[in-house]
Amino acid sequence: MSSPLLEIRQLRKTYGSLAAVDGVSFTVQRGECLGLLGPNGAGKTTTLSMLAGLLTPDSGQVLIDGRALAGDTDPLKRQLGLVPQELALYEDLTAAENLAFFGALYSLEKATLHQRMADALAIVGLADRARDKARTFSGGMKRRLNLAAALLHDPQLLLLDEPTVGVDPQSRNAIFDNIEALRARGKTILYTTHYMEEVERLCDRVVIVDHGKVIADDTIAALRARAGSGGNLLKITLAQAPAGAWLPALRQLAGIRSAELAGALLSLELDDLTASASPILHFLREHHETIVHLSSDRPNLESIFLTLTGRQLRDT
């Protein structure tokens, strides 16, 4: 196995008494798309900022291609393409002017810069809007331009910080297509998000962080297996939030791996839906609960996160 393009060792960053990142370690292989998944405030952006050299870690190491970043002007930064969570664009400049500026920061020759600008605009599907000011773009188009601005210096590793925040489903799909196109070109991608479905669609591997710590680091398939191969999820919405006194008794039923109650929503992980469904419904009827909705699914990252942390992913 070749050496990883990115290696993070025991990274730590504190703000006063708060440890925003607390001993985070993981690697990203060349050509891989790694999802950095966690709820808001889990430490994803802080981790990314340290990777890009924007923040100095209190301790730990970031190795890019086996070497640590040495200061602001280290040419190693050319290996990185940062796509900030914010729309980091000049609204009063055209798309082309924005790209020309960000490209010039990497001292690209004029001819190279123009070629890269054309490529980047083509990848994100904005070639025909190059001369339009960014302020005239829709939110999705701005997101795509935000992505294009990180491609001009042809970085090996793209650091995408929640690149689909605030965009409509159609634009989100367009961004996914762009990212998949970049993967096809051999780019390595570190993708932070708190959307499970994005990681499931785009990434080979996922690092789950919570409260600044890594709580899982594996392929999606392995994480699913850890949550239980062949298992099922059952979600039952009750007419009203119960006191929950019967919850321990419910967990004792055969074939129930876990049971969590959040308000009126009862989430269960089962060995076998066919075998367990009937006893569960019977149990609830005995406890005078009224079911208003019921659904089942195979385990996904959401349920894995729930299993690992005991909390829903979008809880903060």
Partner 1 sequence: MRPLLAIIRKDLKLHVGNRRALILTLAVPIAIASFFGSLFGGQSGKTKSSGVPIQITDLDDSTITRKILTNILADASLKATLVPEAEARAAIKQGKTAVAVIFPKNFGADASSSFFSPGAKPELTVLHDPSRNIESSMVQGILMQHIMQAVSQNIFSGTGGRQLAQNALKRLDLGSGLSPADNGALRGLLTNVDQWLSRVAANTNLATTAGRGSGGGAGGGFSLPFKMKDEESEAPAESGIGRYNGYAHSFAGMGMQFVLMAAIDWGLGILLERQRGLWRRLRAAPLSRRTLLLGRASSSTLIALSTLAICWAFSMVVFHVQINGSWLGFFLINLGVSTFAASLGLFIAALGRTPEATRGLAIFVLLMLVMLGGAWIPSFIFPAWLQNVTIFIPTRWAMDGYDAMTWRGLGLSAALAPAAVLFAATALCGWFAHRCFRWEAD
**Site size for partner 1 (CB under 8 A):** 35
Residue whose CB is less far from partner 1, 120 or 304: 120
Q: Among 5, 38, 44, 49, which residue sits at the site for partner 1 (rule: CB under 8 A)?
A: 49
Residue whose CB is less far from partner 1, 84 or 231: 84
Q: Which of 192, 146, 253 is nearest to 34 (CA)?
A: 192
According to the binding rule CB under 8 A, does residue 283 interact with partner 1? no
In the complex, least distance from residue 76 CB atom to partner 1, rounded to whole angstroms: 8
Residue whose CB is less far from partner 1, 11 or 301: 11
Cβ atoms of 35 and 207 closer than 8 Å: yes
According to the binding rule CB under 8 A, does residue 70 interact with partner 1? no
Cα distances from 252 to residues 38, 185, 279, 316, in angstroms, run 31, 51, 11, 30
Other residues' Cβ atoms within 10 Å of the Cβ of residue 119: 16
> Do the strands 291-297 and 232-238 form a parallel or antiparallel pair, or are they unpaired?
antiparallel
According to the binding rule CB under 8 A, does residue 102 interact with partner 1? yes
Using CB under 8 A as the binding rule, the residues of this chain from 142 to 171 that contact partner 1 are: 149-150
Identify the residue whose tokens are 């290696």.
Answer: 7
In the complex, least distance from residue 87 CB atom to partner 1, rounded to whole angstroms: 7
Q: Among 2, 17, 73, 252, which residue sits at the site for partner 1 (rule: CB under 8 A)?
A: 73
Alpha-carbon gap, residue 292 to 43, rounded angstroms: 37
According to the binding rule CB under 8 A, does residue 58 interact with partner 1? no
Burial of residue 59 (CB within 10 Å: 0-12, 13-18, 19+) is: exposed
In the complex, least distance from residue 277 CB atom to partner 1, rounded to whole angstroms: 48
Residue whose CB is less far from partner 1, 105 or 221: 105
Angle between helices 110-123 and 169-184 (to 10 degrees): 130
Burial of residue 312 (CB within 10 Å: 0-12, 13-18, 19+) is: middle
Q: Which stretch binds partner 1 (CB under 8 A): 79-87, 163-171, 286-294, 298-306?
A: 79-87
The two most distant CA atoms of the chain are separated, in Å, by: 76
Q: Which of 156, 49, 140 is nearest to 87 (CA)?
A: 140
Residue whose CB is less far from partner 1, 158 or 233: 158
Residues that bind partner 1 (CB under 8 A): 45, 49, 52-56, 72-78, 80, 82, 84-90, 92-93, 97, 100-102, 104-107, 149-150
